[in-house]
Amino acid sequence: MKNTLKNKSLSQKYIFGVKAIADYLNVSERSVYIWEQELDFPLHRVADSNKRTVYASVDEIEKWLKNKPVSGAEKAKTKKRILWGSGFLAAIIVLILIWIFLLPKSPKIDFYTSSSPNPRSAVIEDKYIYIKDGTGEVIWAYIENDKPLDNELMSAESNLDFCDIDGDQANEVIAKEYDVETNRFYLTLFDNNGTRIWRESISNDQSFRGLLLRSNFFPVHSRFAQSHNKTFIITGWRHRTRFLVIITRYDINGNLLNEYIHTGHISFINCIDLNQDGTDEILFGATNNILNGEAVLAVLPLKEFKGVCPPNRIEPEFQHLKYLLQKYIADEAEPGNQTAYIRFKKINQFDEFTKTYIFTVFDHSDQNLFHIYVFPWHHDYENTYIGFEYVFSNTLQLMDIFPNSGLRRVYPRLCRQSGNNTSLHELTNIYAENIYGWDQDEWVSLDELELNFR
């Protein structure tokens, strides 16, 4: 995975994107391409971009303008060639113009390259992800989505991860990438200089009440995982229009090793060595649609996970919703072999503010503890999520639970508006008692749950 970009000085300035180049020259984008073809204008393509992304050096532009000025006669000659050329040449030019018109336009940005690029962070702008080095300079970019992203709702790094997997002291990047030509999303492993090492898509043959969702997936929450200094890639593939998420494991060569199907959206995936045996476990939070959108927290073994998440049946308390929920049941599915699967049961408090689902959100891991936020309600007037913070040990023992700051702030108002006189302390105890774990074929209290890595 050698660096394929030419060595450049960090101080050398580049203009990234044909629109920015045209603006610099005060001409149309079409003229830039015509000048390249007819007058040797110094236009460059980013490595391995299939000529979809261009840039130019300011120094080379100024030298070209000085040594090869475009005269009026040359402009007329170029125009004549385009308008009055042979039928074959005219057809080629039309195809070129169509190709140019369909090109994704990059935002205006100065593009810098380094002799030793080392990706450290990323930032979202429009549909693009810009990869930055340790100094904050952009070193390369790719198309992340088919439409502009909302920076307030999306985190650039939720769909990518950094790791030096080949020992060259520079990070590779695993990320979701959108291809304009195929209108598909891919899981892509980038070398440190932006070269694609490989990219993969996925399909699924599992039937859900006779419905097959073989394609139309895109990767989310891609992560590197470690097992005794060996690197793997963990990714959740979410169906673009339905409920299904497939959690997968790849080796660094892009080979699919195993998968696990979850019937609900996933809010996070993290790879953490919970039992400190040298191999990461896969910790993820999600909603479970079979449980009417309740929040779950799950742990998968890194190398052996497979099957479909529990319970894969309609629970007694949701029988009245059977018609809606049964579409989430997988036909003839192999039960999942998750290490742990914890359910945060919904409680009927403040019904008018209850969401249709609750999400678990991972906070951090520190001193063998990690924090999970659960948001049962959304208070529209405050425009904020309100819920509880759970503190777990790395063996999934509940260490503490307390209302988050948003809930503490608005709780008196919620009580008045709903006519509910339950104290916040009582409510906290209720939520602490309504946590269950999946054990074989039934739900048991968290204290009764037997985990093989404790």
Helix axes of 58-67 and 18-25: crossing angle, nearest 10 degrees:
40
Residues 129 and 78 in one domain: no
For the chain, the domain total comes to: 3
Q: Look at residue 82 in the predicted model and tell me its pLDDT.
A: 43
Residues 191 and 85 in one domain: no
DSSP string of 116-156, one letter each residue: S----EEEEETTEEEEE-TTS-EEEEEE--SS---TTT--G
Residues 140 and 97 in one domain: no
Residue 157 lies in a domain: yes
Q: What is the pLDDT of residues 21-49, one digit of tens each?
A: 887 787 887 788 787 777 888 887 765 44
Residues 133 and 239 in one domain: no
Domain range for 74 is: 18-102
Residue 4 lies in a domain: yes
Q: Look at residue 248 in the predicted model and tell me its pLDDT.
A: 97
Q: Look at residue 11 in the predicted model and tell me its pLDDT.
A: 35
Residues 298 and 428 in one domain: yes
Residue 31 lies in a domain: yes
Residues 135 and 96 in one domain: no
- Degrees (nearest 5) of the Cα angle 154, 158, 161? 145
Contact criterion met (CB below 8 Å) for 285 and 295: yes
Residues 415 and 296 in one domain: yes
Residues 354 and 276 in one domain: yes
Q: How many CB atoms lie within 10 A of CB 409?
A: 14
Residue 13 lies in a domain: no
Domain boundary among 56, 83, 102: 102
Domain boundary among 201, 234, 250: 201
Extract the residue ranges of the chain whose pLDDT is less than 70: 1-13, 46-53, 68-115, 149-157, 356-357, 365, 367, 379-384, 452-454
Residues 225 and 335 in one domain: yes
Residue 47 lies in a domain: yes
Q: What is the pLDDT of residues 282-338, one digit of tens each?
A: 999 999 999 999 999 999 999 989 999 999 999 999 999 999 999 999 999 999 999
Residues 3 and 88 in one domain: no
Rounded distance, CA 223 to CA 159, Å? 8
Residue 195 lies in a domain: yes
Residues 420 and 442 in one domain: yes
Residues 318 and 354 in one domain: yes
pTM of the model: 0.73
Domain boundary among 102, 127, 148: 102
For residue 401, give the amino acid letter: I
Residue 454 lies in a domain: no
Residue 303 lies in a domain: yes
